[in-house]
Amino acid sequence: MSAAFVARLREEGGRRYHDRHPFHVRMHEGRLAPEELRAWVRNRYYYQTRIPVKDALILAKSDDPAFRRTWLRRIAEQDGARAGEGGLALWLVLAEAVGCDPAVVARCDDVLPDVRRACDDYVELVRGATLVEAVASSLTECFAPDLMVQRIAAWERHYPWVESHGLAYFRMRVGAGRRDAGEALDFVTAHAVTPALQDRCVAALIRKTEILWRLLDAIDAAGQSRACR
């Protein structure tokens, strides 16, 4: 593993990660109104639905059965072994806990157009990338577990009206995210062995961070627009 390459991935991803977005900062400081939390949950669900789609695209790029067996687990964990299980189902539990209708959230009828475009762009990024670049784009998960720990603590402190069971998705992603990030980082560092390919992997990670910011930009702008009416 190239220490310099890993350090570069962590530096570029960490300083661009969406935990620094003003909307996210307000969330963790307890400054979001209930409807702002609901808007985030509703819109972020569409992003959650794109995760197994992009993972299926990554899966299809590999000729290695061992890689496919490992990566397939991600799809199963998000979609669940059956209806009502998995990460998507847990997000709908969160939706209900914040006061949304889970059935409406699941239909994605209220997703903002700019959120939809940002999430769809992530799928297209993965679709058009090489395998190692596509995996590199997922390395935002290196920063997600610590964010989930902070989010759980912030929500429990600032939004006690959200029942504890609604935070199950966040809790699940702490351990699973650390495992997934480690596997993805090992793969990228093992296969991005030239400076040019490493540059492309860093670029893919940066594009992913930009997509996450665009998602929050759209939610934040819509909330500010409503507040000014």
Query: Which one has a higher pLDDT value, 198 or 223?
Result: 198
Q: Which residue has the higher pLDDT, 82 or 197?
A: 197
* Per-position b or e across 77-92, b if 16+ CB within 10 A of its CB: bbbbeeeeebbbbbbb
Does 144 fall in a domain? Answer: yes
pLDDT score of 22 more than 80? yes
Give the mean pLDDT of the chain. Answer: 96
Residue 199 belongs to domain spanning: 3-222
Per DSSP, the chain holds a count of helices (H) and strands (E) of 11, 0
| Nearby residues of 156 by Cβ (< 8 Å), 6 or more positions away | 164, 167
Task: Look at the pTM and tell me if it is higher than 0.75.
Answer: yes
- Answer whether residue 227 is part of any domain: no
Evaluate whether residue 229 is within a structural domain: no
Domain-located, residue 209: yes
Looking up residue 93, the CATH number of its domain turns out to be: 1.20.910.10
Residue 2 has what pLDDT? 87
- pLDDT for the residue numbered 94: 98
- Tell me the torsion sign for CA atoms 117, 145, 66, 87: negative
Residue 9 lies in a domain: yes
Is 120 a domain residue?
yes
Q: What is the pLDDT of residue 229?
A: 41
At 88, list the tokens. Answer: 């998507």
Angle at 112 between CA 106 and CA 118, to 5 degrees: 95
Domain count, the chain: 1
